[in-house]
Structure 1
């Protein structure tokens, strides 16, 4: 059984992550998000971190520390995220602790990759876009369909 840390910000990022749940059947999954209300979706398998953006530096530092602690404590085999900031932090720390990392850029980013998605390239073992026209030979890849 693999330990998976599945990470998403709120809103559409979370909805897309929930659509991936069938892929996690039979594995030990911990979900991470910024909204405690999502416990209704995953029960006690939820870790809640600070909601932050680039424009909220103190909150961003707090969120990065919370994510780092969670990754250190859980030691996941795989980190998968649909974005945004908490997902980027999880990819960075997951990679540092030896996890395989998967970034799936949000379907909302149909014209260009998200800022977090662009930065995630360096830390991602698998780097995906949900839009075929955004795929490039050097990545991100498009594997078909949207979440």
Structure 2
């Protein structure tokens, strides 16, 4: 299986790295920001970089949509996984167009309110994972696996 893991650098990237037992034997590529923490954490991995800042930045959302088209057409992933943030949105919508399965992991620090990214991708995901039982009120079709930490 080929997996694309999409996450902003920092906490979102660390969150995805904690899921390593699930994808460690799969062929994978990463999409994150060109920042030192990401480059260091993903040494030896196949990396692509998106544009930032992304939060409510329309220009970079458009640019990241083109990045998503380019990477998805080149890599042809079976699965796209993300824990956010905004860069996940274009990858999920473009990935859906090309038949990729989508898994979104809502971040740990959201205990009772959705993130903007979660709200934007919830309806198209194949699996939506929350880490707090009370988040099932916010996202009824979600699966609660408890904390990834």
TM-score (norm 2): 0.89
1:54 Cα shift? 4.6
Are the equivalent residues in 1 in contact too, given 2:18–2:148 (CA < 8 A)? Answer: no
Are the equivalent residues in 2 in contact too, given 1:32–1:49 (CA < 8 A)? Answer: yes
Q: Which residue does 1:66 correspond to in 2? A: 67
Q: Which residue does 1:35 correspond to in 2? A: 34
In proportion to residue count, which structure has more helix?
Answer: 1
Computed over aligned residues only, the root mean square deviation of the Cα atoms, in angstroms, reads 1.7
SS at 2:144 equivalent? coil
The separation in 2 between residues aligned to 1:88 and 1:119, in whole angstroms, is 7
Q: Which of residues 116, 137, 140 in structure 2 aligns to 1:138?
A: 140
1:44 Cα shift? 4.3
- Asked whether 1:57 is paired with 2:58, we answer yes
Could you give the per-residue CA deviations for residues 24-56 of structure 1, whole angstroms, max 9, x where no partner exists? 122101011113421222234111110133532
In proportion to residue count, which structure has more strand?
Answer: 2
Are the equivalent residues in 2 in contact too, given 1:7–1:79 (CA < 8 A)? Answer: yes
Gaps of at least 5 residues in structure 2 are none
Are the equivalent residues in 1 in contact too, given 2:61–2:87 (CA < 8 A)? Answer: no
Q: Which residue does 1:19 correspond to in 2? A: 18
Are the equivalent residues in 1 in contact too, given 2:9–2:35 (CA < 8 A)? Answer: no
- Asked whether 1:80 is paired with 2:87, we answer no
The separation in 2 between residues aligned to 1:54 and 1:36, in whole angstroms, is 17
Gaps of at least 5 residues in structure 1 are none
SS at 2:68 equivalent? helix
The separation in 2 between residues aligned to 1:55 and 1:6, in whole angstroms, is 21
How many corresponding residue pairs? 146
